Amino acid sequence: MANAASMREEAETIAVKALGFIAADPELLPRFLAITGIEANSIRRAAAEPGFLAGVLQFVLAHEPTLLRFAEETGTPPAAIGKALRALPLGNDDHERST
């Protein structure tokens, strides 16, 4: 289970970087807010909601130029972003569960 916990922690770190990347971009932030329906002053509260970080990564992954720019600026391989999404709550409906 420690592996799953560290994977989730790493995924959260990538998602937080992605949120900072979006917030710092004057073109991306309004688009993100419009798509999510979140108001700028509610981002901190929304970030605590399950699925929010997955939504941030889904936003980045949905637009290849944004994905590639984020990957380049943060040194994060694009494949790691998709992997991070799957490690987050609500990041993938097919989440594997250990039984």
Whether the pLDDT of residue 98 is over 70: the answer is no
Whether the pLDDT of residue 96 is over 90: the answer is no
Query: What pLDDT digit, counting tens, does each position of 26-83 carry?
Result: 999 999 999 989 998 898 888 888 899 999 999 999 999 999 999 999 999 999 999 9
What does the domain layout of the chain look like in residue ranges? Answer: 2-87
Q: Output the pLDDT for position 32.
A: 96
Q: Output the pLDDT for position 29.
A: 95
Q: pTM of the full predicted structure?
A: 0.86
- The total of other beta-carbon atoms located within 10 Å of residue 57's CB is 25
pLDDT band at 19; cut points 50, 70, 90: very high
